[in-house]
């Protein structure tokens, strides 16, 4: 099943409950606009490389479209389309006034110089500057992009359209960004994980956690859960996975990775296992925080964690989701679990529009408030209707988007 088909599958499970007509389903699922561009860039060695970039704008019935920009070699239109659709449901679940979009450039980031990355970013914005903007579509960081890339986007866009920092979020804090944006996705995952544990009557101290991925989301999630007294027994990155029965010292791991070009390769005091083995560990909590599609029909029967929190976007294939749900696994879905990032992006955009700087305390407080109320709503709906948290989250999201579509007038 391809990525967009997978989101459609989840959407339809909720649409069945809502008894949506076929026409309404088509309307809500179809992207408003899909842009594909060619980016010709000169590399540092003088060679010319042709890259393909995408921006998919899925829905704007609730506000300007919002979503990250991904630089990764596996990016393709189907994936970007599915992630754009997920953004629509995500912004609706947490009830921030946005629609959904996503962008991507198919490029292998590892090994690129900073200058090359900057040229790719600026060239991409040259091609899409007319379709993005603070009131139309606002990019943000995603896999392979960061605050520096966002600053280049702002600068390049502003050359065409004049000064306006609200065209992009996730910018450096000292350059129109907001304190707490970088930690926001991982912090949100952490906050909601603790809430889930408490609803299930589990104590953090008795919870062993395996986290796949040690990038922005994985590291902040690990830090938060470690501080909340969960026992993080396994972490991983592209170099492999690292397991320690007695618990990994997350602070040490962060220091190690920072000192080794953001790689855990050679991390001492832990057994080296594979990323696949990490998913199958005997733990209470599994958090995929890296690539999409890592939990499949093939490995799902071997997954032992009774709770899975989706920090990555679309880490689970629908066949695996069905299987695990039937066996009683509690799955906190991506569109709720990792919505902390876009929520703080929204705060950044509000701040940019007001030329007013929020404090970190205020950001954290408001993030907690937004995520907690979304969590309450999704949790109680799933209890009341005896449906999965994923279907409940989609029902909340689709309900809001559907109502906005009808209120705005369809014809």
- Catalytic residue ranges: 102
Identify the CA nearest to 196 among candidates 282, 294, 278, 287.
287
The token pair that represents 349 in the structure block: 């955009």
What is the dihedral sign for C-alpha 324, 325, 330, 334? positive
Report in angstroms how near the CB of residue 270 gets to ligand GLU at its nearest: 29
**Applying CB under 6 A, does 145 fall inside the site for ligand GLU?**
no
**Applying CB under 6 A, does 67 fall inside the site for ligand GLU?**
yes
Report in angstroms how near the CB of residue 349 gets to ligand GLU at its nearest: 9
Nearer to ligand GLU by Cβ, of 257 and 313: the residue is: 313
DSSP letter string over 229-248? T-EEEEEEETTEEEE-TT--
Q: Which positions from 100 through 129 interact with ligand GLU, judged by CB under 6 A?
A: none
Nearer to ligand GLU by Cβ, of 13 and 216: the residue is: 216
Nearer to ligand GLU by Cβ, of 83 and 295: the residue is: 83
Cα dist from 228 to 224, 287, 347, 385, whole Å: 6, 15, 25, 31
Please say whether the beta carbons of 137 and 65 come within 8 A.
yes
Report in angstroms how near the CB of residue 282 gets to ligand GLU at its nearest: 30
Q: Where does this chain touch ligand GLU (CB under 6 A) — which range of 104-112, 296-304, 336-344, 355-363?
A: 336-344
Q: Which positions from 296 through 325 interact with ligand GLU, judged by CB under 6 A?
A: 313
Angstrom distance (rounded) from CA 66 to CA 60 = 9
Q: How many residues bind ligand GLU (CB under 6 A)?
A: 11
**Applying CB under 6 A, does 142 fall inside the site for ligand GLU?**
yes
**Applying CB under 6 A, does 79 fall inside the site for ligand GLU?**
no
Report in angstroms how near the CB of residue 259 gets to ligand GLU at its nearest: 27
Among 169, 219, 257, 352, binds ligand GLU (CB under 6 A): 169
Report in angstroms how near the CB of residue 33 gets to ligand GLU at its nearest: 17
Angstrom distance (rounded) from CA 313 to CA 87 = 10
Nearer to ligand GLU by Cβ, of 156 and 313: the residue is: 313
Among 20, 140, 154, 286, binds ligand GLU (CB under 6 A): 140
Among 64, 68, 134, 144, binds ligand GLU (CB under 6 A): 68
Angstrom distance (rounded) from CA 222 to CA 183 = 11
**Applying CB under 6 A, does 345 fall inside the site for ligand GLU?**
yes
Strands 99-106 vs 330-332: parallel, antiparallel or unpaired:
unpaired
The token pair that represents 251 in the structure block: 């602070």
Angstrom distance (rounded) from CA 324 to CA 334 = 16
Q: Where does this chain touch ligand GLU (CB under 6 A) — which range of 60-68, 171-179, 289-297, 362-370?
A: 60-68
Identify the CA nearest to 272 among candidates 292, 248, 296.
248
**Side by side, which strands form the sheet with 240-243?**
271-273, 240-243, 231-237, 208-212, 285-288, 307-309, 330-332
* DSSP 3-state of 261: coil
Cα dist from 370 to 50, 217, 364, 376, whole Å: 42, 19, 10, 10
Q: Looking at beta carbons, which residue is closest to ligand GLU? A: 68
Residues that bind ligand GLU (CB under 6 A): 66-68, 140, 142, 169, 313, 338, 341-342, 345
């Amino acid at each position: 099943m391809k990525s967009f088909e997978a989101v459609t599958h989840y959407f339809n499970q909720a649409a069945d409950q809502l008894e949506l007509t076929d026409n309404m389903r088509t309307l809500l699922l179809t992207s408003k606009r899909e842009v594909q561009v060619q980016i010709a860039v000169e590399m540092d060695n003088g060679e010319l490389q042709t890259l393909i970039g995408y921006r998919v704008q899925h829905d704007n019935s609730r506000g300007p479209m919002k979503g990250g920009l991904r630089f990764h070699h596996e990016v393709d239109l189907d994936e970007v389309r599915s992630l754009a659709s997920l953004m629509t449901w995500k912004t609706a679940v947490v009830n921030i006034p946005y629609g959904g979009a996503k962008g991507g450039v198919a490029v292998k980031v590892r090994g690129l110089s900073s200058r090359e990355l900057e040229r790719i970013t600026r060239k991409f914005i040259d091609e899409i500057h007319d379709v993005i903007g603070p009131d139309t579509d606002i990019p943000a960081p995603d896999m392979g992009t960061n605050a520096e890339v966002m600053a280049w986007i702002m600068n390049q866009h502003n050359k065409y359209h004049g000064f306006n920092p609200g065209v992009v979020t996730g910018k450096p804090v000292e350059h129109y960004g907001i304190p707490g944006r970088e930690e926001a996705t991982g912090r949100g995952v952490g906050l909601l994980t603790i809430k889930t544990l408490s609803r299930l009557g589990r104590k953090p101290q008795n919870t062993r956690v395996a986290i796949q991925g040690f990038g922005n989301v994985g590291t902040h999630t690990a830090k938060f859960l470690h501080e909340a007294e969960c026992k993080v027994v396994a972490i991983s990155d592209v170099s492999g996975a690292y397991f320690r029965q007695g618990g990994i010292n997350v602070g040490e791991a962060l220091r190690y990775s920072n000192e080794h070009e953001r790689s855990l390769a050679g991390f001492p005091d832990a057994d080296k296992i594979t990323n696949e083995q990490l998913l199958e560990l005997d733990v209470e909590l599994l958090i995929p925080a890296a690539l999409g599609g890592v939990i499949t029909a093939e490995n799902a029967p071997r997954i032992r964690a009774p709770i899975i929190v989706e920090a990555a976007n679309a880490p689970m294939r629908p066949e695996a989701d069905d299987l695990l749900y039937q066996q009683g696994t509690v799955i906190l879905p991506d569109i709720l679990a990792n919505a902390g990032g876009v929520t703080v992006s929204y705060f950044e955009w509000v701040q940019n529009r007001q030329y007013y700087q929020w404090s970190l305390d205020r950001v954290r407080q408001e993030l907690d408030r937004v995520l907690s109320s979304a969590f309450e709503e999704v949790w109680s709906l799933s209890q009341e209707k005896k449906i999965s948290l994923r279907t409940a989250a989609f029902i909340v999201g689709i309900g809001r988007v559907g109502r906005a579509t009808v209120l705005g007038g369809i014809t």
